[in-house]
Amino acid sequence: MALIDRVLESIVSSPDDEYVRKVGRVCRVVGLMIESNGPSAFIGERCLIELPSGQHVEAEVVGFNEARVLLMPYGETTQIAPGCMVKGTGRMLQVPVGDELIGQVLDGLGRPLSGEGAMPGARYDVLRKPPNPLERPRILDVLSTGVRVIDGLLTVGKGQRVGLFAGSGVGKSTLLGMIAKRSSADINVIALIGERGREVKEFIEKELGPEGMARSVVIVATSDQPPLVRLKGAYTATAIAEYFRDQGKEVVLMMDSVTRFAMAQREIGLATGEPPTSKGYTPSVFAMLPQLLERSGTAVTGSITAFYTVLVDGDDMNEPIADAVRGILDGHFVMDRSLANRGQFPAIHVLKSISRVMNQIATPMHREVAQTFRGWLATYLDAEDLINIGAYKKGTNPAIDTAIEQYPNLLTFLKQSIEEEAPLEESLERLAQIVRGER
């Protein structure tokens, strides 16, 4: 009672205090869902639950059940007991933003994972509105990714949003590491959402390396974290990318993966009583996807070029999340397991992939040679079965004859080792040489 009296006294004596304005009490905990009588809070408000030990657990208001407040914690619920005090902070989650973040690894709430490094004083709300669509400049400039197949055949523009659609183990993390090290962007913001804990350090040291880490901010919310932390990890990364964009920088935002973001929201939605719809995903998932993905792109001050990986169950490109994301983004790159099994890396299936802005940013000559390349590749793959069993006789079809002759050169262009450098100009020149028949 003494503790309650002190809290109430502090509220009365400082009614304008932004940190402790409202209080309530825990009355029920089921799984990860906490119910409390009070405080008088709003959806998304950050609250503090005081434990019997005197420590506190951060939680967020995710819904209401009649007069009760529904909260989900950012941490564990093990010490929460009936009657624990719930304090409203009067604000949503905010994350630190600033140049001091470059080279650091943060958790899903924007705190340094290593416990070291100076943290900036400026803060951004993690939930922000996308730019006004009428104020978004058109995408007119090419972003060099340093990956030959992308720069030559699936050219990406500054401010474009692309999905990398792949099953597990097809090489999407390695591809993201290549782009992070070699793109022409000023800074990378990389979000690892729902990753295995083992893979985090491996990605940072092996795929990024010192070269990539020197111009990157990494946000990590591993699979063992509560669903709310995994969800906020995506918003944290986007808010940090928006800060650097607002400073006039060209930013590359990479999120691996948007599917696990959707899974986290599904867990939250089911816990708050939402009905499952398509494959168990709740309606809020499909409402939140465009709210997140539309925040990247062009703006008046700078741009965020985004690469979102999408995990496809059983390599099914039409599963609900993949289908929803593909309709929102400005292009999709399909990573094919059969190509990976053949030793082709990056395992991007060019004929199943598209960049929706390539035609408006590539030169006429570039578009022409890329279309010729794709035509030869399509012709060869259509006739591949006949060629492999020896049923095709040379001279029967001139187009197939040309495709067979050119296929070794096409395959050489499509393959690129992790260590191989491929500047944009060099990739375009090599593509033109192949089409001209030069060796």
Residues 417-433: pLDDT tens digits? Answer: 988 888 999 999 999 99
Question: 18-32, 106-120, 174-188 — which one is most confidently predicted on average?
Answer: 174-188
pLDDT bucket at 282, cuts 50 / 70 / 90:
very high
Question: Can you spell out the DSSP letters for 383-396?
Answer: HHHHHHTT---TTS
Please report the pLDDT score of residue 13 as a whole number.
41
Please report the pLDDT score of residue 433 as a whole number.
92
**Is the confidence at residue 236, as pLDDT, over 80?**
yes
Length of the chain: 439
Return the CATH fold of 364-436: Substrate Binding Domain Of Dnak; Chain:A; Domain 2 (1.20.1270)
Q: pTM here?
A: 0.89
**Is the confidence at residue 278, as pLDDT, over 70?**
yes
- 3 state DSSP class of 355: strand
Question: Which phi and psi angles does 324 have, rounded to 5°?
Answer: -65, -45
Q: Please return the burial class of 31, using the count of CB atoms within 10 Å of its CB with bins 0-12, 13-18 and 19+.
A: exposed
* pLDDT: which is higher, 94 or 21: 94
* Mean pLDDT score, 33-62: 90
* Mean pLDDT score, 268-285: 88
pLDDT bucket at 20, cuts 50 / 70 / 90:
very low
Percent of the chain residues past pLDDT 90, beyond the cut:
57
**What pLDDT, in 10s, does the model give residues 382-400?**
988 888 888 888 888 899 9
**Is the confidence at residue 436, as pLDDT, over 80?**
yes
pLDDT bucket at 7, cuts 50 / 70 / 90:
very low
Neighbours of 42 (CB within 10 A): 12
Give span(s): CATH 2.40.30.20, the chain: 18-92
**What pLDDT, in 10s, does the model give residues 297-308?**
999 999 999 999
Please report the pLDDT score of residue 8 as a whole number.
41
- 3 state DSSP class of 362: coil
pLDDT bucket at 19, cuts 50 / 70 / 90:
very low
d(CA 80, CA 57): 8
Beta bridge partners of 399: none
- Do residues 186 and 217 touch, judged by C-beta distance below 8 A? no
**What pLDDT, in 10s, does the model give residues 41-52?**
899 999 999 998
- Do residues 246 and 301 touch, judged by C-beta distance below 8 A? yes
Q: Which CATH class is domain 95-358?
A: alpha beta
Give span(s): CATH 3.40.50.12240, the chain: 95-358
* Mean pLDDT score, 61-72: 90
* Mean pLDDT score, 124-128: 90
**What pLDDT, in 10s, does the model give residues 180-200?**
999 989 999 999 998 888 888
Please report the pLDDT score of residue 314 as a whole number.
64
Please report the pLDDT score of residue 315 as a whole number.
62
Mean pLDDT of the chain: 88
**Is the confidence at residue 15, as pLDDT, over 50?**
no
Please report the pLDDT score of residue 157 as a whole number.
95
**Is the confidence at residue 160, as pLDDT, over 80?**
yes
Percent of the chain residues past pLDDT 70, beyond the cut:
93
d(CA 264, CA 226): 8
* pLDDT: which is higher, 202 or 118: 202
Please report the pLDDT score of residue 16 as a whole number.
43
Element (H, E) at 26: strand 22-30
**Is the confidence at residue 1, as pLDDT, over 60?**
no
202: CB partners within 8 A, 6+ apart: none
Please report the pLDDT score of residue 316 as a whole number.
67
Give span(s): CATH 1.20.1270.330, the chain: 364-436
Q: From 140, 175, 155, select the one nearest 424 (Cα to Cα).
A: 155
- Do residues 236 and 106 touch, judged by C-beta distance below 8 A? yes
Reduced DSSP (H G I as helix, E B as strand, rest coil) percent helix, strand, coil of the chain, to 5: 40, 20, 35
18-92 belongs to CATH 3.90.1300.10: no
Please report the pLDDT score of residue 116 as a whole number.
64
* Mean pLDDT score, 160-172: 89
